[in-house]
Amino acid sequence: MSNYEKKKVLITGAKGFIGSNISKYYKSIGFSTYGIGYGDMSIDNCIDNGLDHWHNSEITVNTIKDIGVFFDLVVHCGGGSSVGFSVENPYIDFKRTVDSTLEVLEFLRLYNNDAYLIYPSSPAVHGECKDIKIKESMRGDPVSPYGYHKRMAEDLCRSYSKKYNLKIGVIRLFSVYGIGQEKQLLWDAYQKITKTKNIKFWGVGNETRDFIHINDVVDIMNKLYILNKSFTIVNGGSGERYTINEVVRMIGCIVSPKANISFNNQADVGNPKHYWADTVKVKKIFKKDFIKFKDGLHEYINWCSQGS
């Protein structure tokens, strides 16, 4: 493998919303950026996503090794991305989430053990919680394959850090949003509310979520990298709690005040009812205020209204 003075970061799943924002950030501060994952990417797409190099391949020890680079930082965003998909395709979700994490860890153990690894996990590892702030130390039973697989991946990270002295930061991401995101609640709600006056959403409406801006996520990850601790887990949430009903009505007030919003009163199987982050630990690391959701939401809706 070749080694250069310029710092290098590898982002698995770099085509995704979170991965591409990480790539763009590290490109902006002078890193050489490498991405790996499924699908072709044109030169223009690479530039747009902040990537110097893109490798269209499965995430394995050998495919990463064949890139031929020693990395300073690896951010493993590759893996399953939704509860619904994991329920319908548990085997594929396991392979994408657990197996790919093991491959990354093995690469680091064998060839690049001085790199820092950041693993974006999920509060789904806790399972169903009461409507209280979720602390990193709390441990429940996941209610979906997605949650179980994320927990397995976390346990692998902990094991490799302890046994092989790898430096790893795990960030449990709550509801991440921001410019460029074209899926999940905020995007779906905007699309529905702008297309019809009578909108019915899934669920009851009193489900709670904690929204964190993508810029804050990237800043937290970089802070973990700078701190360079042997192993740590932090919540990637803002500590602000909103019900789904409040959120969709906030969007309605911005884009279509006369919209008639209701809920189908059906439980969303596999998705815990309440997500609310305890931020005591992450704020000791972050040491600055998070972007307020109401401010970030207006920015996001403005982007959506301009045709994204």
CATH (domain of 262): 3.90.25.10
Nearest to 130 by CA among 208, 185, 204, 202: 208
Residues 145 and 72 in one domain: yes
Sequence-ordered list of residues with C-beta below 8 angstroms from that of 192, at least 6 positions apart, any chain = 199, 201
CA distance 126 to 134: 8
Q: What's the total number of domains in the chain?
A: 2
Residues 154 and 196 in one domain: no
The two structure tokens encoding residue 85: 């998909």
Sequence-ordered list of residues with C-beta below 8 angstroms from that of 306, at least 6 positions apart, any chain = none
Residues 144 and 189 in one domain: no
Per-chain mean pLDDT for the chain: 94
Q: Would strands 175-177 and 73-76 be described as parallel, antiparallel, or unpaired?
A: unpaired
Residues 87 and 224 in one domain: yes
CA distance 44 to 269: 40
The two structure tokens encoding residue 183: 């899926």
Find the domain containing 229 and state its range. Answer: 8-176+211-236
Q: Which residues pair with 74 in a beta bridge?
A: 10, 117
Predicted confidence band of residue 82 (pLDDT cuts 50, 70, 90): confident
Q: Burial code of 134-151, b = ≥16 C-beta within 10 A, e = fewer?
A: bebeeeeebbbbbbbbbb
Rg (CA), the chain: 19
Helical spans, DSSP H, in the chain: 17-28, 43-48, 61-65, 83-88, 90-94, 100-111, 145-164, 184-195, 214-227, 244-255, 280-286, 293-305
In a domain, 279, yes or no: no
Residues 71 and 148 in one domain: yes
> What's the full length of the chain, in residues?
308
With a cut of 60, say whether residue 308 has pLDDT above it. no
- Residue 250 near residue 177, CB atoms below 8 Å: no
Residues 66 and 196 in one domain: no
In a domain, 99, yes or no: yes
In a domain, 232, yes or no: yes
Largest CA distance in the chain: 61
Average pLDDT over residues 92-106: 97
Residues 248 and 229 in one domain: no
pLDDT tens-digit readout, 221-266: 999 999 999 999 999 999 999 999 999 999 999 999 988 999 998 8
Average pLDDT over residues 165-181: 97
CA distance 186 to 247: 8
Query: CA-CA distances (angstroms) from residue 275 to 1, 15, 287, 293?
Result: 43, 26, 23, 15
CA distance 242 to 249: 11
In a domain, 141, yes or no: yes
Residues 63 and 172 in one domain: yes
What type of residue is 141? D
In a domain, 153, yes or no: yes
pLDDT tens-digit readout, 147-172: 999 999 999 999 999 999 999 999 99
Residue 78 belongs to domain with CATH number: 3.40.50.720
CA distance 170 to 192: 34
The pLDDT, as a whole number, for residue 3 is 43
Average pLDDT over residues 262-279: 87
**Three-class DSSP category at 252:** helix
Residues 123 and 182 in one domain: no
Residues 16 and 46 in one domain: yes
Predicted confidence band of residue 217 (pLDDT cuts 50, 70, 90): very high
CA distance 290 to 296: 10
Residues 204 and 87 in one domain: no
Q: Phi/psi of residue 9, each to 5°? A: -125, 140
In a domain, 2, yes or no: no
Residues 151 and 246 in one domain: no
Q: Would strands 8-12 and 32-37 be described as parallel, antiparallel, or unpaired?
A: parallel
DSSP 144: S
